[in-house]
Amino acid sequence: MHDLVLEDVRKSYGSVLAVTDVTLHIPAGKLVCFLGPSGCGKTTLLRMIAGLEAPSAGRLLLDGTDIAPLPPDRRGFGMVFQSLALFDHLTVGENIAYALHIRGESRDRQRARAEQLLEMVRLPGIADRHVSQLSGGQRQRVAIARALAVDPKLFLLDEPLSALDAKLREAMQIELRLLQQRLNVTTILVTHDQREAMTMADLIVVMGDHRVQQVGPPSQIYREPANTFVADFIGTSNLLPVTVEGGGSGAVRFNGAAVSVGAIPDGLTGAATLLVRPEELHVLPEAAAAAGGPNRLPATVTFVRDVGGTVEVHVDCHGHALIAESLRKDAPAVAAGDAVTVELPPAACRVLAA
Amino acid sequence: MSLHQHPRGLRQHLPMAIPAVVLTVFFLVPFGIMVAYSFYHRVSGGFYEPAFELDNYARFLTPLFLGVLGFSLWLCGLAAVLCTAAAVPFTWFLSRFSPRGQTLWLVFILSVLSLSEVIIGFAWSTLLSRSAGISNLFVALGLIDQPTAYSPSFLALLLGMCFITFPYTVLVLYPSVTRLDPEVTEAARTLGATPLRTFFTVVVPSLRPAIVATLVLVFVFTLGVYVLPQLLGQPQHWTLSVFITDQAVYQSNIPFAAAVAVFLMLVSLALIGLTLLAGGGRRS
């Protein structure tokens, strides 16, 4: 097992900044996910780790040794590309055994290893087939097998599932995660799909605006986002502009009304953002209930989205759109146009810098 | 009418009529006449009369003719291999330039096409000559003692052949090379291949159809070249095209020249067929 440390890594193309100020620890045997919108620099970061781009500054330490000067062919990493990048002129078996072929291993060894890997990705007996004869999901598995052929020190995945349809993608996420845990290989996954990141990662690195925004386990990223960028990017968020009053009163003001919240970060005063996740927000059918308790605000239903298992109620609260999500059995009996009350449980209210 | 429908009736076929007529009148008819002439009987004094005899074809079985044929195939095959071997890496590097750099290089290469075979032949024979050629430069640099003539010679002829076909090979290879997915070569690199190994194990095999097309193109193109051998080669380097010109123009033996031309075409068609068969082997 190998671990990787990035120290102050930066990459720019001329005057165009791709990614900067990246200091990270990728622990051995873990699956770390670089998550962010397109153009945030996550793929550039992965390509620097793979050796396909040279960092403009900073160090990449694999088990304590700087690997920045090594070309990609001497790093011993396995990478699955977004386009999969299979060799169309070779058979499935030859694709998988390519790294062994380059190392000069015997044909029998190559063949045996290819068969073994095909078994592992649950595609036995197709070694002699041509790559062009495979389905999307099969190509996917072949690309994964090829990257794992010589027990890579790091397993790098660049949006590997983006070409698959939704159902297959979800199944592959779980399968890939189980495979990674079984092989215990240090893995970095790049994705813009937060659901994929939540499913697979031990640690999520949220990236945005060319830098790291937050690092943490999936549940922490979701429950305790470090800033509005993370809160907005991960999951659905209700974000309200509020004002923090001085004196540590534990309350903020929204639209003139006091709203009590769980905790306010130290030193935060003035304009701030209040975050409430949709599943924490309650909609009470009666407009009159607004007067009946703390953290209750009057609102108007604008839309009800019933997706089967869950029901989303969209409301307008003083000109701000909010979404409340609940299980069907807990869903309030409301319709578009109804005057209602929304309740923000104090424990579910997080205050972030604006 | 949608573009995907096959044309029906006379009216819809009309746009095809002009190219069809031009092809028939200016290509098929002269070709038919030439095939007919190849069976005609030659009358001494430069004339011929209609006949159907195989005498012209029987003359192929002379050592002189077979020697010229063998040399032509060898020279053109060698030119095809050398020119393609130079063009594949060249086009590969070209495709990695900036779009602006690529355009400049392509314009420069295409400008060679504006030069006629005669001009290219004279330019190279001057460049390789003793009195004004590059050997004078070598003397100035102290590489050799005194200027020598590099032309006419086999190598001079080969060089000229490669020079004249190089722009075409780049043009044929360029679309395929630029369509190669850069991630494919990157994948090879991460799997342990050096840039050189990557080029030979991934780039070249991926370009196989284009490379075969290039080989065929250079081969056929150089088979038809008949000025360069006379300018850059010695008489023993004269190819079948020169031989045909000589028979038709100077010996006034039109039937024999026609027979050789037909034969040359059949031989090159057969070789192209074999190349395509071998080159297309593992495509699916």
Q: What is the ipTM of this complex?
A: 0.85
Residues 6+ apart with CB under 8 A from A158: A43, A46, A47, A79, A80, A81, A82, A190
Q: What's residue B113's pLDDT?
A: 85
Q: With 70 as the cut, is the pLDDT of residue A248 above it?
A: no
Residue tagged 């424990």 (tokens): A347
Q: What's residue B249's pLDDT?
A: 85
Reported as a single tens digit per residue, the pLDDT across B75-131 is 999 999 999 999 999 999 998 888 899 999 989 988 888 888 899 989 998 888 888
Q: Is B208 on the interface with A (CB under 8 A)?
A: yes
Q: What's residue A290's pLDDT?
A: 65
Cα B21 off chain centre by = 27
Contact A98 B190 (CB under 8 A): no
The nearest alpha carbon in chain B to A86 belongs to B184
Chain A residues close to B204, C-beta within 8 Å: none
A85 → closest Cβ in B187, B192, B201: B187
Q: What's residue A213's pLDDT?
A: 95
Contact B183 A82 (CB under 8 A): yes
The nearest alpha carbon in chain B to A82 belongs to B183
Closest CA to A160 of A181, A142, A178: A142
Q: What's residue B284's pLDDT?
A: 36
Closest CA to A122 of A172, A183, A188: A172
Contact B190 A78 (CB under 8 A): yes
The nearest alpha carbon in chain B to A49 belongs to B190
Reported as a single tens digit per residue, the pLDDT across B160-208 is 999 999 999 999 999 999 999 999 999 999 999 999 999 999 999 999 8
Question: Could you tell me the two tokens for A330?
Answer: 């807990």
Instruction: Supply the pTM of this predicted model.
Output: 0.80
Chain A residues close to B197, C-beta within 8 Å: 102
CB A277 within 8 A of CB A348: yes
Gap between the Cα atoms of B239 and B66, Å rounded: 11
Q: What percent of chain A clears pLDDT 70, i.e. is strictly above it?
A: 97
Gap between the Cα atoms of A348 and B208, Å rounded: 62
A73 → closest Cβ in B192, B202, B208: B192
Residues 6+ apart with CB under 8 A from B253: B42, B247
Residue A292: pLDDT band with limits 50, 70, 90: low
The DSSP-derived string for chain B is: --TTSPP-HHHHHHHHHHHHHHHIIIIIHHHHHHHHHTTSEEETTTEEE-----HHHHGGGSHHHHHHHHHHHHHHHHHHHHHHHHHHHHHHHHTTS-HHHHHHHHHHHHHGGGS-HHHHHHHHHHHTSTTTSHHHHHHHTTSSSS-----SSHHHHHHHHHHHHHHHHHHHHHHHHHHS-HHHHHHHHHTT--HHHHIIIIIHHHTHHHHHHHHHHHHHHHHT--SHHHHHS-GGG--HHHHHHIIIIIS--HHHHHHHHHHHHHHHHHHHHHHHHHHTTT--
Contact A51 B190 (CB under 8 A): yes
Chain A residues close to B186, C-beta within 8 Å: 50, 52, 72, 79, 81, 85
Taking only residues 162 to 181 of chain B, the set having a beta carbon closer than 8 angstroms to any beta carbon of chain A reads 181
Q: Is A163 on the interface with B (CB under 8 A)?
A: no
A85 → closest Cβ in B184, B201, B284: B184
Mutant choice from B179, B183, B191, B199 vs A, greatest count of A C-beta within 10 A: B191
CB B256 within 8 A of CB B56: yes
Gap between the Cα atoms of A264 and A195, Å rounded: 28
Higher-pLDDT residue of A74, B284: A74
Question: Could you tell me the two tokens for B191?
Answer: 């799997």
How many other C-beta atoms can be found within 10 angstroms of the C-beta atom of residue A135? 10
Gap between the Cα atoms of A246 and A241, Å rounded: 16
Residues comprising chain A, all counted: 354
Gap between the Cα atoms of B176 and B194, Å rounded: 22
Q: What's residue B4's pLDDT?
A: 65
Q: With 80 as the cut, is the pLDDT of residue B37 above it?
A: yes
Amino acid at A167: K
Higher-pLDDT residue of B133, A59: A59
